[in-house]
């Protein structure tokens, strides 16, 4: 998962792949691994709406959109150490916003990531541990799971610029298995949860958040094929309030024009 700012929670990849019906065999177990696929180009579309209020009155409202393309190259798979090396490079972008704040490279910047087979980040370029770059793309289960199983993950990190400590508490449900991309076996995961501000910040403010989304994970290739994550956040500090509704979708097979016209990423429609 990826996170954008103190208020704004952001996820990656959309739930837009055309697939067959959900599998119903709940007795079969499935294992999730990162396997290191060849070079992949993925387009991402981020959309958010921020409302600022004072004493219950709206004083400012802003919309922010950002479209960018990430190239992911698997540079090495170390079978002995059980590590996967991948280089991520942002090769194009349109719109405002810092990609590093979302855990992505800036334009023309490359970051060398090192993953375990379970998707945990061992190294993220020269960025410090405990930063947003060490959040996994998707929380994978440690053991083989069956359809209907759930698992929970907590992640701690600190903002790169504001140094505010944050904690994400996520619940993942294994909803089913589908055939996608013609011959791939994919798992449909449903994610929900919240983010909390830790430490001193909680003494001066009240922060509420809600996260929900779906992820399509290729059991064949060991990679996230698609996801659609949306979130709402509300920060209260005295008479002031900030509410942010946001989402990120992205698909390696879709054009940026298709993503920008997608009706499923409209923050004004979020509860």
Average pLDDT over residues 17-30: 54
The residue to which tokens 């958010």 are assigned: 48
State yes or no: pLDDT of 88 exceeds 70.
yes
DSSP conformation class of 160: T
- The pair phi, psi for residue 135, each rounded to 5°, is -80, 135
pLDDT, position 122: 96
pLDDT, position 162: 80
Q: Quote the percentage of the chain above a pLDDT of 70.
A: 80
143-156: burial string, b at 16+ Cβ within 10 Å, e else: eebebeeebebebe
Q: Assign 22 a pLDDT band (cuts: 50, 70, 90).
A: very low
Instruction: List all residues 6 or more positions away from 2 whose beta carbon is below 8 Å from its beta carbon.
Output: 10, 11, 12, 102, 103, 104, 132, 135, 137, 248
Q: Which of 25-34, 118-127, 178-187, 198-207 has the highest mean pLDDT?
A: 118-127
State yes or no: pLDDT of 13 exceeds 60.
no
What are the sequence ranges of the domains in the chain? 2-37+48-65+129-269
Q: Assign 202 a pLDDT band (cuts: 50, 70, 90).
A: low
Average pLDDT score over the chain: 82
Query: What is the C-alpha separation between 237 and 244, in angstroms, rounded?
Result: 15
pLDDT, position 7: 37
Exposed (0-12), middle (13-18) or buried (19+): which is 211, by Cβ within 10 Å?
A: buried
State yes or no: pLDDT of 252 exceeds 70.
no
Determine the distance from the C-alpha atom of residue 95 to the mean position of all C-alpha atoms in its chain, rounded to a whole number.
Answer: 19
Alpha carbon separation from 135 to 181, 196, 224, 235, 253 (Å, rounded): 27, 15, 14, 22, 24
Between 179 and 127, residue with greater pLDDT: 127
pLDDT digits (tens, 9 = 90+) for 211-240: 998 888 989 888 888 878 888 999 888 889
Q: Assign 250 a pLDDT band (cuts: 50, 70, 90).
A: confident
Q: What is the distance between the terminal CA atoms of the chain, rounded to a whole angstrom?
A: 21
The candidate with the shortest Cα–Cα distance to 85, out of 75, 94, 95, is 75
pLDDT, position 131: 94
pLDDT, position 19: 32
Going by their DSSP bridges, the two strands 223-237 and 240-251 should be labelled as antiparallel
Going by their DSSP bridges, the two strands 9-10 and 40-54 should be labelled as unpaired
pLDDT, position 9: 34
């Amino acid at each position: 998962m990826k996170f954008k700012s103190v208020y704004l929670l952001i996820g990656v990849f959309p739930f837009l792949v055309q697939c067959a019906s959900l599998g119903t065999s709940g007795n079969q177990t499935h294992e999730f691994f990162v396997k290191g696929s060849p070079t992949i180009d993925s387009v991402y579309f981020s959309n958010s709406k921020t409302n600022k209020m004072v004493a219950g009155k709206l004083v400012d409202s802003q919309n922010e959109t950002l479209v960018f393309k990430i190239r992911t190259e698997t540079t090495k798979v170390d079978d002995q150490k059980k590590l996967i090396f991948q280089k991520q490079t942002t090769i194009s972008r349109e719109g405002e916003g810092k990609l590093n704040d979302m855990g992505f490279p800036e334009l023309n910047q490359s970051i060398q990531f090192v993953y375990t087979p379970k998707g945990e980040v061992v190294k993220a370029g020269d960025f410090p541990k405990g930063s947003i770059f060490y959040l996994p793309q998707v929380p994978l289960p440690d053991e083989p799971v069956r359809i209907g199983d759930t698992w929970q993950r907590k992640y701690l990190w600190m903002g790169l610029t504001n140094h505010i400590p944050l904690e994400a508490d996520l619940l993942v449900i294994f909803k089913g298995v589908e055939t996608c991309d013609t011959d791939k076996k994919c798992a449909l995961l449903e994610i929900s949860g919240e983010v909390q501000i830790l430490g001193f910040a909680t003494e001066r403010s009240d922060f509420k958040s809600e996260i929900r989304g779906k992820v399509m994970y290729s059991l064949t290739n060991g990679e996230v094929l698609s996801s659609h994550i949306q979130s709402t956040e509300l920060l209260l500090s005295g008479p002031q309030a900030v509410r942010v509704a946001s989402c990120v979708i992205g698909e390696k097979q879709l054009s940026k024009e298709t993503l920008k016209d997608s009706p499923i990423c409209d923050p004004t429609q979020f509860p």
